[in-house]
Amino acid sequence: MSSLKYQSLDCDLLVTGGTMVLMDDQRRVLEDAALAIKDSWILWIGHPSEISDIRAKTVLDAKGKWILPGMINGHCHSAMSLLRGLADDRKLMDWLTNVIWPAESKYADEQFVSTGTSLSCLEMMASGITCFADMYFHAGAVAKAASDAGMRAICGQNVIDFDTPDNPKGWDFGLDLVRAHASQWSGHSLIRPGIAPHSPYAVAPNHLQQAHQLSMELDLPFLIHVAEPETEAQQIRDNFGASVPSVIEYLESLGVLTSNMIAAHVIWTDPDHDLPRLKKNRVGVVHCPHSNMKLASGVAHIPSMISHGIAVGLGTDGAASNNDLSLWEEMDLAAKLHKLIQKDPTVMPAKTVFEMATIEGARAIGQEKMLGSLEVGKKADLIVVDRDTPHQIPTYDPYAQLVYASKSSDVCSVVVDGVLIYHQRKPTLLDKQKVFADVEQYRKKLS
């Protein structure tokens, strides 16, 4: 059962005694298993009886619990937790243009972004998310708040064709912000900088190409909303006079549909026409079912994407359009939504959906070699989840139990990069009460 043979073992952290769902190639589930961590990496996986002498600086007893890979939130706007509940029950473009963007224009300075991101980190770690892909203004403030919380993140610096809270000087200055952001955070152990052109309807064709060229030059993830509103193709025609047979074909014609793209939503596609293009260009797709339902944006062709071999992860979107940051809820909804739409209960089985939150989510953001499964040589990002609550028993199928019954409140410990950042349901690095007090000040301003 063990991944490597040892007679004795020295490690920083030993997690032991739980039921381990590895999400490795064999999709193994190990009972009464243990995992050793050294210098932020997974050093060994197996049964404690296989090694005569294990010396650990810290031991985390997971007896009677799940030991799982950390979950990956493939698309969010973490600072928007401060806008939670501010503008509910509106259509997407009305929501954006009449409420969200004006509020951000007035309030979204670096402190706003830092406070909102810290609040989201508290919420995400408490629900077992260890890595998130973010696109927002002041990306450096997002990165700083995430790293201070001990969270792993892709932090995309927003670029768009109008003035924003961090850029009143135009497109070229926005690209300079990206360069500075990339320089500051390149090589960080937890943070990967990225570039985030908002969407095809809000960024001109030549600017999309410039953003993509910069992403290739600096080796940055290219985060973008794609085919979210049904009207996007028409908006591109109206805004830029561009010929748009489909949004996916339009992006391919510009040369920006490549493997470093993390495409959020991707709702309005033709399965026969567009999905082969996504597959050929190895684009990562992030499905956000709660946000898409709440804004009535539509339902993406996720089962077809998966059957095409496209990497599809799950995302919460921002808390202003969801309104929480729980991948447990996204998993449950993603499984049931597509069963209902296709009138087929065999569609989107639990194992497939759990893959979307873990190993396939890692593939969607281009991090599957480091994240998404519990394997020797991968980063030590994992969560420990209680199994002793009424809704967790009995268990017959681990994946069904995790997708359909488990809750955010079941998460009791979180390890990121080998560091215990959340333990006994309390953050270890963030001051929760200070964050809450800072959030209250913004609530008063926004009320």
End-to-end CA distance of the chain: 56
- Any idea what DSSP says for residue 33? E
Before 323, cis peptide (omega within 30)? yes
Region 21-41: mean pLDDT is 97
Q: In degrees rounded to 5, what are phi and psi of residue 136?
A: -170, 180
Question: Is residue 419 classed as helix, strand or coil in its secondary structure?
Answer: strand
CA distances from 355 to 21, 141, 334 (A): 11, 30, 12
Largest CA distance in the chain: 70
Query: How would residue 125 be classed by pLDDT, with cut points 50, 70 and 90?
Result: very high
Q: Do 359 and 368 touch, CB atoms closer than 8 A?
A: yes
pLDDT of residue 2 exceeding 50, the answer is no
State what percent of residues in the chain have pLDDT above 70: 99
Per residue in 153-174, pLDDT tens?
A: 999 999 999 999 999 999 999 9
Angle at 298 between CA 320 and CA 104, to 5 degrees: 25
- What is the C-alpha separation between 222 and 217, in angstroms, rounded? 12
Spatial CA neighbour of 311 closest among 302, 319, 322: 302
pLDDT of residue 246 exceeding 70, the answer is yes
Strands, E assignment, 165-266: 191-197, 222-226, 261-265
Region 340-367: mean pLDDT is 98
pLDDT of residue 316 exceeding 70, the answer is yes
- Res 5: pLDDT: 63
Q: Do 247 and 273 touch, CB atoms closer than 8 A?
A: no
- Res 87: pLDDT: 84
pLDDT of residue 53 exceeding 80, the answer is yes
- Residues facing residue 351 across a β-bridge: none
Region 402-418: mean pLDDT is 98
- Any idea what DSSP says for residue 31? E
- Res 244: pLDDT: 87
Region 186-201: mean pLDDT is 98
Region 382-399: mean pLDDT is 95
Bridging pattern class, strands 261-265 and 222-226: parallel
Region 147-157: mean pLDDT is 98
Before 394, cis peptide (omega within 30)? yes
Query: How would residue 1 be classed by pLDDT, with cut points 50, 70 and 90?
Result: very low
- What is the C-alpha separation between 2 and 250, in angstroms, rounded? 49
Provide Rg for the chain, Cα atoms: 21
Hey, what amino acid is at 263?
A
List all residues 6 or more positions away from 365 whose beta carbon is below 8 Å from its beta carbon.
72, 74, 131, 133, 154, 221, 262, 284, 286, 313
- Res 422: pLDDT: 98
Question: Is residue 350 classed as helix, strand or coil in its secondary structure?
Answer: helix
pLDDT of residue 7 exceeding 80, the answer is no
Region 376-382: mean pLDDT is 98
pLDDT of residue 3 exceeding 60, the answer is no
- What is the C-alpha separation between 362 and 314, in angstroms, rounded? 10
- Residues facing residue 426 across a β-bridge: 423
- Res 8: pLDDT: 87
- What is the C-alpha separation between 403 and 327, in angstroms, rounded? 9
DSSP-H helix ranges across 343-369 = 350-357, 359-364
Question: Is residue 112 classed as helix, strand or coil in its secondary structure?
Answer: helix
pLDDT of residue 343 exceeding 60, the answer is yes
Query: How would residue 243 be classed by pLDDT, with cut points 50, 70 and 90?
Result: confident
- Residues facing residue 124 across a β-bridge: none
- Res 217: pLDDT: 98
- What is the C-alpha separation between 266 and 177, in angstroms, rounded? 27
Query: How would residue 447 be classed by pLDDT, with cut points 50, 70 and 90?
Result: confident
Q: Which helix (H) or strand (E) segment is 122 a member of?
A: helix 110-126
Q: Find how far residue 309's CA is from the centre of its chain.
A: 20
